Amino acid sequence: MIGYVTLGTNDLPRAAAFYDALLGELGARRIMEEDQFIAWGTSMEQPGIAASKPHDGKPATVGNGTMVALAAQTPEQVQQVHARALSLGGADEGAPGPRGEEGFYAGYFRDLDGNKLNVFCITQPGNS
Percent of the chain with pLDDT over 70: 97
Which structural domains are found in the chain, ordered by start?
4-54+66-122 (3.10.180.10)
Q: Render the burial of 11-48: b for 16+ CB within 10 Å, e for the rest.
A: ebeebbebbeebbebbebebbeeeeeebbbbeeeeeeb
**Cβ proximity of 21 and 40 under 8 Å:** no
Instruction: Kindly list the strands in the beta sheet with 67-71, ordered across the sheet, starting from the edge strand earlier in the chain.
Output: 67-71, 116-122, 104-110, 91-98
Please state, in angstroms and rounded to a whole number, the distance separating the CA atoms of residues 113 and 66: 13
Q: What is the pLDDT of residues 77-124, one digit of tens each?
A: 999 999 999 999 999 999 999 998 789 999 999 999 999 999 999 987
**Cβ proximity of 17 and 5 under 8 Å:** no
Please state, in angstroms and rounded to a whole number, the distance separating the CA atoms of residues 66 and 81: 20
* pLDDT of the residue at 2: 85
* pLDDT of the residue at 26: 96
